[in-house]
Amino acid sequence: MAIDDPIDAIKKQLELEAASSSVIGQRLLDLLKLLPFTWPMSAAVAGITDALRRDENHRINIYLETVASVVQKHDKELREVRSRLDDQEAFRRAESTRRLLLEGARRASSTRSIERVERIAIILANGVTEPKGPEEDEIEEMMRIARELSDRDIEYLSELLRIHGESVKQGGRIERYNAYTRWESGFWGSKLNGEIDSVFSKLESFGLVSRIPPPNNLNIMADFQSRYALLPKGLRFSELVNANASYAAEHR
């Protein structure tokens, strides 16, 4: 699977789109220019278009470079996959990959954090290089989640993967008792910490984890730490993100 040509084609297409509409919209920029701003707002508005274009191009370049690097690592496996496909199947897979590559680029171009751009690219690359081929809806949703999660969110999810991941991988779920008792072996321990609920409530909203109901013998007046269990979707997301996690660290 030659990655250079499709990436170059996607890059040119995105540049054409960017020429007609900026990240925040050409209409908004035009309105800004009509308002009677004085310095320093006037100077800021004057330079905003170029700044937005530079930032967007920088993020797209990082996205495409990351995708290309990850895909190159799977070159041998991809050649073997291609040899087993007939022309029609190969075309369908290439079209699916093209659609996802473009969707990922659009998400990356409107994402402020470079780390999130890299995660979007890694998920896309790992998803489209799997032997079974990409599930478009799944990979698109995983890229959407990657765009919303911070480094801290990922850190907590990775720690839960460490303590619950093997059970979910083997049995498709982790039993409530085991999830509850293993929870304290995470770096958060047993101390009450508001960040735990903040982070894991966010992860739960994406279907990656599930809150464990407290034991029935706890008094309603008791102040206790909320605990969460890893879900199969959280395992899948973590596998897609962490498969090439070293790439981002090495190239940052």
Instruction: Give pLDDT, residue 134.
Output: 87
Instruction: Give pLDDT, residue 185.
Output: 93
pLDDT-above-70 percentage for the chain: 71
Tokens of 173: 């779920």
Would you give the distance in Å from CA 30 to the centre of its chain?
32
> SS3 for 241?
helix
Tokens of 98: 């093209």
Distance between CA 22 and CA 5 in Å, rounded? Answer: 25
Task: Check: CB of residue 120 under 8 Å from CB of residue 128.
Answer: no
User: Which residue has better confidence, 63 or 222?
Assistant: 63
Task: Check: CB of residue 220 under 8 Å from CB of residue 150.
Answer: no
Residue type present at position 162: R
User: Which residue has better confidence, 193 or 26?
Assistant: 193
Torsion from C-alpha of 126, 132, 138, 143, nearest 10 degrees = 10
Tokens of 179: 């999830």
pTM value surpassing 0.85: no
Report all structural domains of the chain as residue ranges with CATH numbers, in order of start. Answer: 4-148 (no CATH), 152-239 (1.10.10)
Residues shown for the chain: 252
> SS3 for 96?
helix
Render pLDDT for 21-78 as a digit per residue (tens, 0 to 9).
444 455 555 666 666 665 666 666 666 656 666 777 788 889 988 988 898 888 888 8
Instruction: Give pLDDT, residue 192.
Output: 81
User: Average pLDDT, stretch 168-196?
Assistant: 91
Tokens of 163: 């303590």
Q: Under the phi-then-psi rule, with left for phi > 0, alpha for psi from -120 to 50, and beta for the rest, what region is 25? A: left
Render pLDDT for 107-158 as a digit per residue (tens, 0 to 9).
888 888 999 999 999 999 999 888 888 899 999 999 999 999 999 999 999 9
> SS3 for 23?
coil
Which position has the token pair 């890299």? Answer: 118
DSSP annotation of 39:
T
Confidence band of 246 (pLDDT split at 50, 70, 90): very low
Which position has the token pair 């969110």? Answer: 153
